[in-house]
Amino acid sequence: MDYIHLRDMQFFGYHGVLKEENVLGQRFRVSVTLALKTEKAGISDNLEDTVSYVGVYDICKDIVEGKPFKLIEAVAESIAKKVLTDYEGQVFGVKVEVIKPDPPIPGHYKEVAVEIVRGHYHE
């Protein structure tokens, strides 16, 4: 299995349980790893033989900057489902990490995050 990584994409969205999160919004960071076969593209040097990471970036942007979810778990699930659906037969599995760097939680911490794995994904 081969992997394409899109690391630390940054978006602004309105996800959260608290009303102020839905009104004020906040930054979100997203990383996605696709499990797929890249040998054909590596030999042909042709974009049509692989998955365009621009398309995956656009999926992430549309979801994070789109309809608000209460939970970042739902954001991650939506990204994973859309990637697997849009690239069915090409992407066998996906790992999605959604990071909320500034959640409204008292205390000292770097960030909160959720990471999910869907499909046939083995590292």
Find the catalytic residue in 19, 70, 95, 100.
Answer: 100
Q: What φ, ψ does residue 10 adopt, rounded to 5°? A: -125, 135
Q: Hey, how many other C-beta atoms are within 10 angstroms of the C-beta on 64?
A: 24
Instruction: Give Cα separations from 105 to 14, 29, 108, 109 (angstroms).
Output: 16, 17, 9, 9
Q: Which two tokens stand for residue 107?
A: 């205390």
Residue 67 known to be catalytic: no
Q: Which residues belong to the active site? A: 100
